[in-house]
Amino acid sequence: MATTGGDRQPKYQRIANTLREAIQAGEYVPGDRLPGENDLMATHGVARMTARQALGVLQNEGIAESRKGAGVFVRAFRPLRRRGIQRLSREQWGAGRSIWSADIEDRTLVVDQVAVTEEPAPERIARVLDIAPDDAVCVRSRRFVLDGKPVLLATSYLPASLVAGSAITQEDTGPGGTYARLGELGAKPVHFREEVRSRMPSQDEANRLSLSMGTPVILICRTAFADEGRPVEVNEMTLDSASYVLEYDFDA
Amino acid sequence: MATTGGDRQPKYQRIANTLREAIQAGEYVPGDRLPGENDLMATHGVARMTARQALGVLQNEGIAESRKGAGVFVRAFRPLRRRGIQRLSREQWGAGRSIWSADIEDRTLVVDQVAVTEEPAPERIARVLDIAPDDAVCVRSRRFVLDGKPVLLATSYLPASLVAGSAITQEDTGPGGTYARLGELGAKPVHFREEVRSRMPSQDEANRLSLSMGTPVILICRTAFADEGRPVEVNEMTLDSASYVLEYDFDA
């Protein structure tokens, strides 16, 4: 694609266009370091602020990302694969494995923050769980880290009346996790709904997931249903979009 | 959340913070018009460029969006619901309805651009379709518009040797669409895989989908398999993330 309207564009845009075209032409491949501010100042005869703005454009577009003290690099996409359906199959969590273990293939996903509280149900959660607003819910908040990088925030809500006294109210839910415990409580999940959307992160989400500029988040709201369509858990997940591919496999 | 580090931040950031906090506090609700450049110049005693940058921050964050000639508004999220699994069930397309009709609930999704060509298979497509690179594929490119706003780009690839002479190579594939025709060719899809990710759009995608600033795209790569795991179609979809919620329903 040629640089159109070049003369009417601000200088930093024209420099950004040049770099973008070089990336699209394969002159810089994912992981390559782009010319730095000093390089761009010398090559294009511009001020530092102009060079910085040009690199900022590519970062906002998600094409490049800054690494502290090392420069700006062409973004690589090497995601985790999250299998929505097989992941939740009874074979997996029924056998005492965490539902997360299928996510990680040969890399290690670790919970580095966990908090379990009891709170009045937020209105949107009460609606999905079919309980009265302000009925108590058990809230399990976790952050998952891959190779030291936070990739996922997950907050589960379960009716407090259902899970009271079980290991679900503890940080460590035991073998098989929350779903195995729900089974012991007579509320085995048999059906799931996942709703998926994407948007730019809030400042708080960007901080907690260490997102670089130009990185959206994927939101998954998963509802687990026991027999007779009874909702027993809502899990709101916020994923670093640069770290994830979601996969759903199903028959016609 | 208080404005932290306020004094060290540039003025436009502090103004953006003030507006963001007002939005979070509910002083402006989705669809409300934010103060314009002139308002911000008067209220904060800043230059037009500073006011414009402040509004730009909120647009980049996806919190607000500009409407030409009307101002900058708090973004509302009123999406289409795309049901990945029921949508593709045989009951729907087997009965002569388009697979898209379940998407639209009470709004009308229209194809406003369609192109059908025969081309050598791109390498990534050949790999998934299990054909030789450069084997011919039938390429069906469509743009879908909702209420005059483009929301989805979809490009399907099918082996040319499979679909030659069928209505799949025509703009109008007939009742039941591509999948009904595949059934008549003895290649009825019985299994689907959808891979979902998100990123910021390219300039071309942003133009074709009329995306406002701070709007990611959702990418869905759907593969349709006939009996014995034979891949018969790859459909690469690019969705306006502000227009869609994806839903996947499945049993444990």
What is the rounded CA–CA span in Å between residue A91 and residue A69? 46
pLDDT more than 90, % of chain A: 65
User: What pLDDT was estimated at residue B103?
Assistant: 47
Structure tokens at B47: 């230059």
- Choose between B170 and A7: higher pLDDT: B170
Structural domain boundaries in chain B: 11-74, 80-247
Asked whether the beta carbons of residue B192 and residue A251 sit closer than 8 angstroms, the reply is yes
Task: Give yes or no for residue B53 having a pLDDT over 70.
Answer: yes
User: What pLDDT was estimated at residue B184?
Assistant: 96
Q: In chain A, which residues have their Cβ closer than 8 Å to the Cβ of B88?
A: 250, 252
The helix or strand, by DSSP H or E, that contains position B215, with its residue range, turns out to be none
Strand pairing report for A244-251 and A80-83 = parallel
In the predicted model, what is the mean pLDDT of residues A65-72? Answer: 90
User: What pLDDT was estimated at residue B212?
Assistant: 87
For all residues of chain A together, what is the average pLDDT? 87
Q: In chain A, which residues have their Cβ closer than 8 Å to the Cβ of B193?
A: 247-249
Asked whether the beta carbons of residue A85 and residue B248 sit closer than 8 angstroms, the reply is yes
**Is this structure's pTM higher than 0.90?**
no
Sign of the CA dihedral with A24 first, then A150, B22, and A119 last: positive
Helix B48-60 and helix B37-44, axial crossing angle in degrees, nearest 10: 120
pLDDT (tens digit per residue) in A81-97: 888 776 555 555 554 45
pLDDT (tens digit per residue) in B62-121: 899 998 889 999 998 878 888 877 655 555 555 445 443 444 455 678 899 999 999 999
Determine phi and psi for A8, rounding to 5 degrees.
-85, -10
- Choose between A117 and A77: higher pLDDT: A117
What is the rounded CA–CA span in Å between residue A138 and residue A159? 6
What is the rounded CA–CA span in Å between residue B152 and residue B146? 9
Q: State the residue for tokens 């229209």.
A: B110
User: What pLDDT was estimated at residue A1?
Assistant: 37
For all residues of chain B together, what is the average pLDDT? 87
What is the rounded CA–CA span in Å between residue A213 and residue A210? 10
What is the rounded CA–CA span in Å between residue B158 and residue B182? 10
HEC string of chain A?
Answer: CCCCCHHHCCHHHHHHHHHHHHHHCCCCCCCCECCCHHHHHHHHCCCHHHHHHHHHHHHHCCCEEEECCCEEEECCCCCEEEECCHHHCHHHHHCCCCCCHHHCCCCCEEEEEEEEEEEECCHHHHHHHCCCCCCEEEEEEEEEEECCEEEEEEEEEEEHHHHCCCHHHCCCCCCCHHHHHHHHCCCCCCEEEEEEEEECCCHHHHHHCCCCCCCCEEEEEEEEEEHHHEEEEEEEEEEECCCEEEEEEEEC
Task: Give yes or no for residue A75 having a pLDDT over 60.
Answer: yes
Task: Give yes or no for residue A111 having a pLDDT over 50.
Answer: yes
User: What pLDDT was estimated at residue B180?
Assistant: 95
Task: Look up the CATH architecture of domain B80-247.
Answer: 3-Layer(aba) Sandwich (3.40)
pLDDT (tens digit per residue) in A178-200: 999 999 999 999 989 899 999 99
| Same fold yes or no, B11-74 and B80-247 | no
What is the rounded CA–CA span in Å between residue A62 and residue A49? 20
In the predicted model, what is the mean pLDDT of residues A37-61? Answer: 94
Task: Give yes or no for residue A98 having a pLDDT over 50.
Answer: no
Q: How far is B245 from chain A (nearest CA, A)?
A: 5
Three-class SS of residue B252?
Answer: coil
Closest CA to B64 of B33, B37, B39, B36: B33
Question: What is the complex's ipTM, to 2 decimals?
Answer: 0.84
Asked whether the beta carbons of residue A197 and residue B244 sit closer than 8 angstroms, the reply is yes
Structure tokens at B220: 């869905």
Task: Give yes or no for residue A137 having a pLDDT over 60.
Answer: yes
In the predicted model, what is the mean pLDDT of residues B205-221? Answer: 93
In the predicted model, what is the mean pLDDT of residues A135-164? Answer: 95
What is the rounded CA–CA span in Å between residue B162 and residue B185? 8
User: What pLDDT was estimated at residue A235?
Assistant: 95
User: What pLDDT was estimated at residue A4?
Assistant: 44
Query: What residues have CB less than 8 Å from B20, skipping those under 6 apart?
Result: B58, B61, B63
User: What pLDDT was estimated at residue B99?
Assistant: 42
Interface with B, mutate which of A60, A75, A198, A241 (most B CBs under 10 A): A198
Q: How far is B22 from chain A (nearest CA, A)?
A: 14
- Choose between B93 and A99: higher pLDDT: B93
pLDDT more than 90, % of chain B: 65
Of the candidates A84, A188, A244, which has its C-beta nearest B248's C-beta?
Answer: A84
Give buried/exposed letters for A67-103 (b at 16+ CB in 10 A, else e): eeeeebbbbeeebbebbbbebbeeebbeeeebbbebb
- Choose between B4 and A204: higher pLDDT: A204
Task: Give yes or no for residue B1 having a pLDDT over 60.
Answer: no
Q: How far is B118 from chain A (nearest CA, A)?
A: 23
CB B89 within 8 A of CB B102: no
Closest CA to A14 of A48, A46, A37, A60: A46
pLDDT band at B3 (very low <50, low <70, confident <90, very high): very low
Q: What CATH topology corresponds to B11-74?
A: Arc Repressor Mutant, subunit A (1.10.10)
In the predicted model, what is the mean pLDDT of residues B207-227? Answer: 93
B43 secondary structure, DSSP code: H
User: What pLDDT was estimated at residue B168?
Assistant: 97
Task: Give yes or no for residue A143 having a pLDDT over 70.
Answer: yes
pLDDT (tens digit per residue) in A207-220: 999 998 889 999 99
Q: Is A248 exposed, middle or buried (0-12, 13-18, 19+ CB in 10 A)?
A: buried
Asked whether the beta carbons of residue B61 and residue A1 sit closer than 8 angstroms, the reply is no
CB B188 within 8 A of CB B165: no
Helix A37-44 and helix A11-24, axial crossing angle in degrees, nearest 10: 110
